[in-house]
Amino acid sequence: MARQRKTQLRYKRDGKCVVCGQPVVTKTYCLKHALGARERERKRMGFKRRIRSLTDRIGEKEINDEFTPLPLPYSKKMELRYKRDGKCIRCGGALATKRYCLKHAEARREAQRRRNGSKRRNNNALSYRSAAKRARRKTQKA
C-alpha cells in the first residue's frame, strides 16, 4: 500500500481531513478540501446540477452578515447578498440589466418567452441591446 494511502486511512480513523489532517467538517474533509471536493464534483456533473449538501451550508460559515441568521436557503441568501452588492443575483457577475449579468439576463428572457408562449419579443429590452452591442464588437474585430 502506498504511504499516502496509509496516511489517508490514519487521518480518516482519527477523524481528520484525509488530504491535510486538519479537523473535519464533513465525513472526510476539512472545510477547504470539502469545498474543493464539491467543486470537483460539480465539474464532473458538468455543472448541470447544483449539489445541495452540507458543504453548501458550510460555505456560508465563512460569510457573516445580516442575511446569515435568516431562515432561508443558502442560494436565496446569496441572491440577497448579490443584490445588495449590485451583482447578478444568479452568479455574482457584473450586471447587464438591473438584476442579471448578460448571460443570466438572456437565460431569464428565454425562460420567460417560453412561459409566455414565445409569441412576443421585446426588442428593446436592455439585454437585447447588450447582446447586439457584443455582436457588433465581434464583427468589428473580425
Residues that bind Zn ion (CB under 5 A): 17, 19-20, 22, 30, 33, 88, 90-91, 93, 101, 104
Nearest residue (CB) to Zn ion, 17 versus 78:
17
End-to-end Cα separation, the chain, in angstroms: 56
Q: How far is CA 15 from CA 28, 33, 40, in A?
A: 7, 14, 22
Compute the chain's Rg from CA coordinates: 21
Which CB atom, from 13 or from 119, has the smaller least distance to Zn ion? 13
Q: Specify whether the CB–CB gap between 12 and 5 falls below 8 A.
A: no
Return d(Cα 19, Cα 33) in angstroms, integer.
7
- Which residue, 28 or 56, is less far from Zn ion as judged by CB? 28
> Phi first, then psi: what are they for 124, rounded to 5°?
-100, 0
CB of 91 to Zn ion, least distance (A): 3
Q: How far is the CB of 95 from Zn ion (least distance, A)?
A: 9
With respect to Zn ion, which residue has the nearer C-beta, 23 or 69? 23
CB of 29 to Zn ion, least distance (A): 6
